[in-house]
Each structure stands twice: as C-alpha cells, then as structure tokens.
Amino acid sequence: MPGRTPSPIAERHPGVKTFSFGYRFKGTGSGSCNLFFYGGSGSCNGTQLGSETFLGEASGTVWVQPAGSVTSPANTTHVYVVCSGVIGGGNYDQFFLSTSSKGGGSF
C-alpha cells in the first residue's frame, strides 16, 4: 500500500474505550498508521474527537511490528485508520484492531 490508503471504518461498541492496534511494515524510512476517532451518527462525517499515531522505523529488509493500545475520547462512535509511508515507501501487512486484550490483539 504505497502512499496514503484509506481503510474501512470500525464502529465502536458501546462502553468499550480501549483499542489494541498494530501492523507490520517493511520498507525504507517510516511506516505510519493513524487512528482518527469520530463522534456522531453515520460514517466518519461527524466531529473528529482525537487521533493517535503508530510509527514504525524500517531498514528495508526486516518487518517491524508497531503495536500498542489507545483509549478513545468520550463519545467516540467510529474509528478511521489511515496508513502511509512517512519517508520512503514500503509494504504493510497483518493489521489488527481489537477492543479485547484476549486473542487477536497482538502478533
């Protein structure tokens, strides 16, 4: 996925505020994925409430695995994920976005 590639929107389950997120990146420079949190009904047309960046520095030959957890702002109803090469380019693989720390939230 070279360049900026938008992704599907994930709806937040009521009462869940912590997300586990990660991906694999191999390339030159940095891979970056941003989670944008939106409030309101419908798609990501509502108010942007906040964001979080997950950055991975790659050497070109080894897959890096940026991952972590983030707490969404109050009133979040949707999460939008956008990934792009910051400096250079590369390949992305094996994304996960989970509201549970049990299974499916790590590599």
Domain membership flag for residue 35: yes
Cβ neighbours for 20, distance < 8 A, ≥ 6 positions apart: 67, 68, 69, 96, 97, 98, 99, 100, 101, 105, 106
pLDDT at position 2 is 43
Given a contact cutoff of 8 angstroms between Cβ atoms, the answer to whether 32 and 83 are in contact is: yes
pLDDT at 78 over 60: yes
Report the domain count for the chain.
1
Q: How confident is the model at residue 4 (pLDDT cuts 50, 70, 90)?
A: very low
pTM of the full structure: 0.77
Query: In this predicted structure, what is the pLDDT of residue 51?
Result: 93
Dist. CA 36–CA 14, nearest whole Å: 17
Question: Is 107 part of a structural domain of the chain?
Answer: no
In the predicted model, what is the mean pLDDT of the chain?
79
β-pairing, 47-59 with 90-98?
unpaired
CATH of the domain at 88: 2.60.120.260
pLDDT of 1 above 50 = no
pLDDT of res. 35: 92
Domain assignment of residue 33, yes or no = yes
Angle at 43 between CA 21 and CA 38, to 5 degrees: 55
Q: Is 55 part of any domain?
A: yes
